[in-house]
Amino acid sequence: MTEIFVGSGDADRSSSTAGASRDAHQARRVIDTAGDAGRASGATGMARDAGRASEAARAATPRDAIFANSLVVTLDQAAELPFAAQAVARIREAQARGSVSENVAVFPGFCDVHVHLREPGQSAKETIATGTRAAARGGFTTVCAMPNLDPVPDTLENLALEEALIARDAVIETLPYASATTTQAGAAITPIGELAQRAIGFSDDGHGLDDPDLMEAALREIAKAGSIIAIHAEDGALRPAGSSINAGPLAEKLGLIGIPKEAEYAQIARDLEILRRLAAENIFPAYHVCHVSCPESVELLTAAKAEGLNVSCETAPHYLLLDESQIPGDNGHFKMNPPLRKPSDREAIANALAAGTIDFIATDHAPHTAEEKARGLAGSAFGIVGIETSFALIDTHFVETGGITLERAVELFTTAPRARFNIPARAGDLTIWDLGADATIDPADFASKGRATPFAGWKVRARCLATFAAGREVYTGVGSPAEPGRK
């Protein structure tokens, strides 16, 4: 397969794409699903819903006029945009040859608020260049980079090192998180007020924040800064040392130490009690839970939303489409944290997404070297790649099966995460997809350095044909100099 990406270091790209990371302080203006008026009146569910239509939601609305009435538009509508005309012509030529189906749709550029780009410090796993190219291949025009780096972006100086790499190498808008605690060690909070001027939010992703007093202090600072904290919910006291997959019969059968789902929802329950105490002081920090994997977590957050607390959550495609019954023995490509849960948990998470109680989808794209993922379930690193396969999987195995509509799926990848994290939509951000493709997920095709996916060999009906960031074609999946074959 031959595909085309823009090169790194191009001056026009760095001025529009990477420059956006320096403007990430815009996030401080919003991060509030309830709205000030809603909080003052008790922040009922109706007030919170109204708040979502406020400044944050309006900013998240796609800027290109073709999306004025729908997030799903036609190739003819995309042809109205001068920057897309050449790509549209190539796609039409491919349709005439029969290598692209007639079922082509155009969407706003996708936004993923949970990716691991591994730079600085871990470039053997991924780089800003390879990770953002992988994102473009998956239809994404904005990603938010998690802070488990070396050095950790826990000061303005350390954050500047990451920003410099983004300015040099990113092909799409790339917004960095800062860490919530110094070196992500969970012992002292970072200078949140300073960092919030340049970070999209705060996270210690990969680590639960076990100290309740430290969590409360962080939440108070998050509220003052008008920022958001993205939580990896895991109570360290409930996760045994050496654990690797979900606790239960499969772990026992394989002789592995399991991670109970209580480790996830117990920490969420604790944090919600802190948020309730803060609400009594009229303090409503924005609290977001990453990669929820069990229904108990969703139930707690749904109740908290009904109370008017400023909370949200995401899940990932693997928690919607996989469960522990599909783990094929001792395979490190099925190891992630949180782990795949029971079939009943997967079904509940899928139902929650369909019901709207999960706010949006994020990939938790977490690349590792081949050697790090070849040590079996006990010894492999936690994490899988997903940014190149996420939309194709959701469209094929969730939309086409009737779980949600295509419009809703696109919302979960676009306006929903942008509104929550106050990431303004940009003119010229769009992605074009063949929804009638006959493709097979093959890690050898990935632009990411990471190849570890549990979805290798899965059939998908969606294939990205082109992605534009700020009006520039950053990924070409069809056309000159050679057209990719349909697999």
Neighbouring residues of 89: CB distance < 8 A, sequence distance ≥ 6: none
Task: Determine the average pLDDT of the residues in 50-75.
Answer: 82
- Residue scoring higher pLDDT (29 or 154): 154
For the cut 80, the answer to whether the pLDDT of residue 437 exceeds it is: yes
* pLDDT class of 2 with cuts at 50, 70, 90: low
pLDDT at 404 exceeding the cut of 70: yes
pLDDT of residue 4: 73
Can you give the pLDDT at residue 15?
36
| pLDDT the model gives residue 54 | 62
Q: What is the mean pLDDT of residues 22-38?
A: 39
**The pTM is what?**
0.91
Q: Give the type of residue at 225.
A: A
Q: What is the residue-wise DSSP string for 213-244? A: HHHHHHHHHHHHHT-EEEE----GGGS-TTEE
Catalytic residues: 364
Q: How far apart are CA 243 and CA 415, in angstroms?
A: 36
Residue 9 has pLDDT above 90, yes or no: no
Q: Please state the rounded mean pLDDT for residues 312-317.
A: 98
Q: How far is CA 300 from CA 14, 84, 272, 279, 317, in A?
A: 42, 44, 8, 16, 21
Q: Does the pLDDT of residue 14 top 60, yes or no?
A: no
Share of the chain above pLDDT 70, in %: 88
Please tell me the predicted confidence (pLDDT) of residue 295.
98
- Whole-angstrom distance, CA of residue 24 vs CA of residue 298: 29
Q: What is the mean pLDDT of residues 262-286?
A: 98
Look at residue 39 in the predicted model and tell me its pLDDT. Answer: 35
pLDDT mean across residues, the chain:
90
Mean pLDDT of the 317-336 span: 97
* Distance, first Cα to last Cα, the chain: 9
Q: State the pLDDT at residue 3.
A: 75
pLDDT at 470: 97
pLDDT per residue as tens digits for the range 191-246: 999 999 999 999 999 999 999 999 999 999 999 999 999 999 999 999 999 999 99
Q: What is the CATH number of domain 4-86+107-476?
A: 3.20.20.140
CA 84 vs CA 433, 435, 469, 481: distances in Å: 13, 19, 11, 17
Is residue 68 over pLDDT 60?
yes
Q: Note the pLDDT of residue 215.
A: 98
Residue with tokens 């639960």: 208
Q: How confident is the model at residue 400 (pLDDT cuts 50, 70, 90)?
A: very high
On the question of pLDDT at 360 being above 80, the answer is yes
Q: Domain locations in the chain?
A: 4-86+107-476
Distance in angstroms (rounded) separating the CA atoms of residues 264 and 35: 28
Provide the pLDDT for residue 6: 65
Q: Which residue has the higher pLDDT, 402 or 18?
A: 402
